[in-house]
């Protein structure tokens, strides 16, 4: 940590800060310039609340120079994490994974048609919501376990792995037989009790970025899962809320290279929620692969405009198939396969 003192800071003020830093277990190295004193703190500052130093009289700025997360940091696994699934599929390796499916599982016919489409396009993961976090309590809330049973059957019939959102701790055990990967939705990114519990699970977790979360907060949330011993965490950029209203969310493509630099965890891009608009999903999917995304999460449905949830951002099957073909060229251009 670095504490920059104000030019007019007195010796007493400087000394009070040094004392507080030392009390917090930090070694202090002082540099006195012609106009300003700088205090460099060395030691384990990850668990320190640095803002408490900011309010000391005479302090100008306090900066963190080491990341507040440890296990999620790139330094912990410089070579990068490749999440491996039971059937040999991976996320985080050379191959860009395709995770596709309906926002919500609606019925047998729908999920089987979608599974056939995902398999036909060369995708490896069928994703469908059974417990849906809807903004309105009057909107379709999902089929629950009955929906997961249908998705499991459809996935097995087509050699696919399954991904579905878990909304609360009580659902974890019941979902285990049906899902190969648990999704934590944007609204639950900071449900720390749920994250801790998922740290005990031995299945991969796809952790979506919160609606208004910083990248650092996303990485700190992943740390809750990693610190429980579950190292198979896949991060997901799904757009954040900004002042822009032209798209449902603002797809933060830059988050992909930022995460790659800061963390070893694979990152998935979700251009469906990232834009909220079917006509913009292909462009953002291509941009995400070009930017280094390890997988794409795309909402598809045979009758996309009649989907029970997120219809406007859902691709028709032919649009999805065309997109996957186009993505192969982008992946090859950045040294990946698809």
CB of 30 or CB of 277, closer to ligand PEP: 277
Residues 220-239 that bind Mn ion (CB under 5 A): none
Residues 87-106 that bind Mn ion (CB under 5 A): 103
Residue tagged 């202090």 (tokens):
28
Instruction: Determine, following the binding rule CB under 6 A, whether residue 101 of this chain makes contact with ligand PEP.
Output: no
Instruction: Determine, following the binding rule CB under 6 A, whether residue 129 of this chain makes contact with ligand PEP.
Output: yes
**Shortest separation between residue 93's beta carbon and Mn ion, angstroms:** 26
Separation between Cα atoms, residue 310 and residue 82, nearest integer Å:
30
Give the pair of three-digit tokens for residue 227.
């610190």
Separation between Cα atoms, residue 24 and residue 16, nearest integer Å:
12
**Shortest separation between residue 239's beta carbon and Mn ion, angstroms:** 11
Separation between Cα atoms, residue 128 and residue 125, nearest integer Å:
10
**Shortest separation between residue 166's beta carbon and ligand PEP, angstroms:** 11
Collapsing DSSP states into helix, strand and coil, what is residue 232?
Answer: coil
Residues 100-159 that bind Mn ion (CB under 5 A): 103
**Shortest separation between residue 212's beta carbon and ligand PEP, angstroms:** 12
Of the candidates 230, 247, 229, 246, the one whose C-alpha atom is nearest the C-alpha of residue 238 is 247
CB of 14 or CB of 175, closer to ligand PEP: 175
Residue 62's beta-bridge partner residues?
A: 3
Give the pair of three-digit tokens for residue 233.
């965490």
Q: CA geometry: angle at 324 spanning 299 and 281, to 5°? A: 45
Instruction: Determine, following the binding rule CB under 6 A, whether residue 103 of this chain makes contact with ligand PEP.
Output: yes
The one segment of 241-249, 288-296, 306-314, 317-325 that binds Mn ion by CB under 5 A? 306-314
Instruction: Determine, following the binding rule CB under 5 A, whether residue 252 of this chain makes contact with Mn ion.
Output: no
**Shortest separation between residue 209's beta carbon and ligand PEP, angstroms:** 8
Separation between Cα atoms, residue 220 and residue 235, nearest integer Å:
11
CA distances to 3, 62, 85, 133, 186 from 20, rounded to whole Å, are 12, 13, 48, 44, 37
Q: How many CB atoms lie within 10 A of CB 156?
A: 13
CB of 66 or CB of 247, closer to Mn ion: 247
Collapsing DSSP states into helix, strand and coil, what is residue 94?
Answer: coil
Q: CA geometry: angle at 266 spanning 259 and 164, to 5°? A: 115
Phi, psi angle pair for 262, to nearest 5°: -80, -30
CB of 133 or CB of 177, closer to ligand PEP: 133
**Shortest separation between residue 26's beta carbon and Mn ion, angstroms:** 45
Give one DSSP letter per residue of 131-152, joined into a string: S---SSTTS----THHHHHHHH
Q: How many residues bind Mn ion (CB under 5 A)?
A: 2
If contact means CB under 5 to 8 A according to the sort of partner, which of ligand PEP, Mn ion, none does residue 208 touch? ligand PEP
CB of 103 or CB of 327, closer to ligand PEP: 103
CB of 71 or CB of 181, closer to Mn ion: 181
The one segment of 38-46, 184-192, 250-258, 324-332 that binds ligand PEP by CB under 6 A? 184-192
Q: Residues 199-238: x/- map of binding to ligand PEP (CB under 6 A)?
A: ---------x-----------------------------x
Of the candidates 207, 143, 153, the one whose C-alpha atom is nearest the C-alpha of residue 178 is 153
Helix 108-120 with 317-333: angle, nearest 10 deg: 30
If contact means CB under 5 to 8 A according to the sort of partner, which of ligand PEP, Mn ion, none does residue 271 touch? none
CB of 140 or CB of 231, closer to ligand PEP: 140
Q: Which residues bind Mn ion (CB under 5 A)?
A: 103, 310
Binding site for ligand PEP (CB under 6 A): 103, 129, 133, 185-187, 208, 238, 273
């Amino acid at each position: 940590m670095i504490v920059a003192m104000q030019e007019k800071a007195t010796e007493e003020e400087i000394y009070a800060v040094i004392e507080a830093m030392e009390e917090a277990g930090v070694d202090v190295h002082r540099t006195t310039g012609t106009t300003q004193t700088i205090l460099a703190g060395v030691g384990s500052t990850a668990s320190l609340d640095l803002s408490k130093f900011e309010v000391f009289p005479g302090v100008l700025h306090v900066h963190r120079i080491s990341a507040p997360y440890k296990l999620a940091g790139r330094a912990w696994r410089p070579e990068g994490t490749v999440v491996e699934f039971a059937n040999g599929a991976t996320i985080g390796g050379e191959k860009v994974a395709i995770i596709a499916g309906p926002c919500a599982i609606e019925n047998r016919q729908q999920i089987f048609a979608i599974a056939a489409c995902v398999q036909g396009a060369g995708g490896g993961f069928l994703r469908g919501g059974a417990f849906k976090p809807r903004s309105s309590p009057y909107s379709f809330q999902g089929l629950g376990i009955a929906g997961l049973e249908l998705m499991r059957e459809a996935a097995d019939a087509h050699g696919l792995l399954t991904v579905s959102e878990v909304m609360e701790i009580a659902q974890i055990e019941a979902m285990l037989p049906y899902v190969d990967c648990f999704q934590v939705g944007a609204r639950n990114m900071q449900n720390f009790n749920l994250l801790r519990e998922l740290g005990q699970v031995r299945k991969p977790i796809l952790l979506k970025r919160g609606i208004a979360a910083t990248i650092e907060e996303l990485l700190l949330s992943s740390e809750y899962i990693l610190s429980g011993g579950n190292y198979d965490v896949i991060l997901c950029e799904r757009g954040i809320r900004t002042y822009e209203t032209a798209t449902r969310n603002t797809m933060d493509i830059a988050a992909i290279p930022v995460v790659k630099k800061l963390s070893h965890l694979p990152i998935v891009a979700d251009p469906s929620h990232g834009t909220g608009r079917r006509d913009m999903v292909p462009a953002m999917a291509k941009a995400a692969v070009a930017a280094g995304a390890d997988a794409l999460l795309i909402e598809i449905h045979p009758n996309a405009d009649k989907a029970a949830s997120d219809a406007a951002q859902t691709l028709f099957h032919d649009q999805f198939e065309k997109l996957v073909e186009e993505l192969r060229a982008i992946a090859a251009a950045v040294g990946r396969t698809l």
